[in-house]
Amino acid sequence: MTKHNRQTPGQVRNAPPAGRRRRLVWCERNAGGAPGAAGTEGAASAGMYGWFWRHLPGNTWVRAALSIVLVLLVVYLLFQYVFPWAEPLLPFNDVTVDGGSGGAAG
C-alpha cells in the first residue's frame, strides 16, 4: 500500500473528504422508518418538530426564543379568532332540562 491509500485511525472508509459533506436526501435520512433506524437518532431529526428546529435561524438560544414566540402567537390566534368562530358551532350551551314528573320533594 502506498502512503495515501492507508486509512488513518478514526477515518471511515469511502467517506467524503473533510469539508465536503454530502447532503442527505429525505429518503436516505429516514431509511427504514423504525425508531433507531439510520438517521433517526436524536430529537432534532425526528418528525415535524425537528423540521421546524432545523429551519429556524440562529443558535440554540435564538431558536428556543423563536420557538416560544411562535407558540405564543399560535395560542393568541386560537383564542382571538378560531375559538370565537367555532363556539356557536359547538353544542355546549344546548342544555335540555326535563320538566316532567320526577322525584321532586316538595
Give the model confidence (pLDDT) of 58-90 as tens digits.
Answer: 999 999 999 999 999 999 999 999 999 998 888
pLDDT for 81 equals 97
Question: What contacts 29, CB < 8 A, 6 or more positions away?
Answer: 39, 40, 45
Tell me, what's the pLDDT at 106? 52
Instruction: State the Cα–Cα distance between residues 97 and 37, nearest whole angstrom.
Output: 57
Q: What's the mean pLDDT when you consider all of the chain?
A: 73
If you average pLDDT over residues 41-69, what whole number do you get?
84
Cα dist from 43 to 33, 36, 104, whole Å: 15, 11, 60
3-state helix, strand, coil in the chain (%, to 5): 50, 0, 50
The pLDDT value given to residue 99: 72
Return the higher-pLDDT residue of 103 and 49. Answer: 49
